[in-house]
Each structure stands twice: as structure tokens, then as C-alpha cells.
């Protein structure tokens, strides 16, 4: 069993965990999972993340508005996030970003909401957790201008893109996609990500790694991601788990 796993992106407020959430989170320290970072997707979800994180010493959270959660935003959404962000368990603004995957998205609104959250993060001196899907060109333009500190979560891009994100001072979050057969680009990226910029994550309950693909994902499955990354980088999984956890603690200010 590996020890010291830090899952830097999880959604344990999801209804798929309703039946066993308390048992799962409570048992993590005995099963090698030392820390979990919950990512908020809306004002309501961010509030639930904060409440859940308060129940466990090894669980932390981020608050934010996901780019797919923009319908019906309350006029004071940013003020509500600001008020939540003072909680001692809140260590980032996220998950925030750009997502052009689905038809009908409002590009202008996505940019407005993201820029306000980037400004909030700077105001509060917090890192950001970035969701970027099929929008890397626009995202890079914005990141070059605003220079936030934080992590690009669920990275599946090229080695060249990874290098540019690292040059901008960002960390790279690697999850179950690394273990998939069609993961050629992210395999190449993992080979070149600097040791001090690598983070592990699940995005659970989604994106379970091989050999668990198709099942509900949870933080223990980072072991499979670390093993694949260790193969690529010619090292051992426990060393990478330790390094990635130290990186996460540094980014999120967790001792």
C-alpha cells in the first residue's frame, strides 16, 4: 500500500457518494490517502465543499464557479465566494476556467466569470484550480496576461503546452487519463513535467484509471496513476506520490 497520497481534485459532494461518503472519507488516512482537495463547481456546491471539509482534518477545499455552471448565476455570486473563501479550510479558488466542448456555450460570459474569479484569487492571495477543455488557446492568452498561481487540472494536452504552462508558473494535475490507451499526448507531457510541478488527482467520481475504468473513482485509485507515471519517468510510484504531495502542500499552503 502506498502512503501520503494527496488527491488535489475531488468531488465528494457528488450524489454518487451519498451512501458511503462518511465511511470512505473517514477511512482514507488508514488507506494511504493523506489529503484531499475538494473542488467547488457552483455557489451551492462550494458551500457544501466547505461544510464537508470542516468535518475531516485531512480534507480541504476550493470554492468557485465551473464554466458549465453559469446558468442562473445570482448577481452576488462573487461576493458569496469571497465570504466563503475566508474559511480556514478553503485553500484555492476553483474549479474555474473555460470549456468550449458543448454547443451553445456563452464564450463572453465564460470569460467574464473566469476573469472575475482570477481577480478574486489575486485579491485573496489564493491559488486557482483551472478547468480548460477545448479552449487552451484562449486560456493561454488570458493566463499570459493575468499570471495566476495554481494548477491546470485534468491535463491531457501536449508536452509543448505543458512546458508553456509550467513557464507561466503553473502546476500540472495528472489523473486517470494517463492510463488510457489513447493517452499518447499526456504520456509525452508527463515525461517532461518538472518534478516540482507535478500533481496527482482523480476528478472523482469521474475518470477512474485503468484497471478501474468504468467504476466510480475515488482517491485511492491515484496509486494506479502514480504507477503509470513512474513507468514513464523511470522512477518508483511511492517517490512520485511523495513528491506530488509536497508540491500540493506548497501550492495550497498546507503543512
DSSP 8-class letter at 15: G
Are 178 and 187 a contacting pair, CB within 8 Å? yes
Q: What is the pLDDT of residue 103?
A: 86
- Domain encompassing residue 150: 5-252
Sheet hosting strand 59-63, strand order edge to edge:
5-10, 33-39, 59-63, 90-99, 128-133, 150-152, 171-174, 198-200
Q: How far apart are CA 9 and CA 17, in angstroms?
A: 15
Q: What is the SS3 assignment for 112-166?
A: HHHHHHHHHHHHHCCCEEEEEECCHHHHHHHHHHHCCCEEECCCCCCHHHHHHHH
Nearest-CA neighbor of 108 among 66, 150, 70? 70
Q: How far apart are CA 124 and CA 227, in angstroms?
A: 36
Collapse the DSSP code of 216 into the 3-class scheme (helix H, G, I; strand E, B; otherwise coil) and give the result: coil
Q: What is the pLDDT of residue 216?
A: 98
Which regions of the chain are under pLDDT 70? none
Q: What is the pLDDT of residue 194?
A: 98
Collapse the DSSP code of 64 into the 3-class scheme (helix H, G, I; strand E, B; otherwise coil) and give the result: coil
Task: Note the pLDDT tens digit of each residue in 126-168.
Answer: 999 999 999 999 999 999 999 999 999 999 999 999 999 999 9
Verdict on whether the full-model pTM lies above 0.95: yes
Q: How far apart are CA 40 and CA 192, in angstroms?
A: 29
Q: How far apart are CA 152 and CA 189, in angstroms?
A: 13
Give the domain CATH number at 196. 3.20.20.140
Q: Which residues pair with 157 in a beta bridge?
A: none
Q: What is the pLDDT of residue 104?
A: 83
Q: How many domains does the chain divide into?
A: 1
Amino acid at each position: 500500500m502506498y502512503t501520503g497520497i494527496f488527491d488535489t481534485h475531488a468531488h465528494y459532494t457528488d450524489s454518487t457518494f451519498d451512501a458511503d461518503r462518511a465511511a470512505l472519507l473517514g477511512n482514507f488516512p488508514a488507506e494511504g490517502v493523506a489529503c484531499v482537495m475538494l473542488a467547488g463547481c457552483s455557489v451551492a456546491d462550494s458551500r457544501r465543499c466547505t461544510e464537508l471539509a470542516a468535518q475531516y482534518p485531512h480534507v480541504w477545499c476550493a470554492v468557485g464557479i465551473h464554466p458549465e455552471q453559469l446558468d442562473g448565476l445570482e448577481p452576488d455570486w462573487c461576493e458569496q465566494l469571497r465570504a466563503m473563501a475566508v474559511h480556514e479550510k478553503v485553500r484555492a479558488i476553483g474549479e474555474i476556467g473555460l470549456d468550449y466542448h458543448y454547443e451553445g456555450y456563452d464564450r463572453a460570459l465564460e470569460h467574464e466569470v473566469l476573469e472575475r474569479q482570477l481577480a478574486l484569487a489575486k485579491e485573496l492571495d489564493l491559488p486557482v484550480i483551472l478547468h480548460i477543455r477545448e479552449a487552451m488557446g484562449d486560456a493561454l492568452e488570458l493566463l499570459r496576461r493575468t499570471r495566476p498561481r495554481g494548477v491546470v487540472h485534468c491535463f491531457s494536452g501536449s508536452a509543448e503546452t505543458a512546458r508553456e504552462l509550467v513557464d507561466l508558473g503553473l502546476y500540472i494535475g495528472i489523473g486517470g487519463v494517463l492510463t488510457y490507451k489513447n493517452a499518447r499526448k499526456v504520456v509525452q507531457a508527463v515525461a517532461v513535467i518538472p518534478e516540482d510541478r507535478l500533481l496527482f488527482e482523480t476528478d472523482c467520481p469521474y475518470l477512474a484509471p485503468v484497471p478501474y475504468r468504468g467504476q466510480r473513482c475515488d482517491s485511492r485509485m491515484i496509486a494506479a496513476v502514480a504507477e503509470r507515471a513512474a513507468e514513464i519517468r523511470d522512477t518508483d510510484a511511492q517517490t512520485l506520490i511523495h513528491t506530488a504531495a509536497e508540491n500540493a502542500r506548497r501550492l495550497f499552503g498546507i503543512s
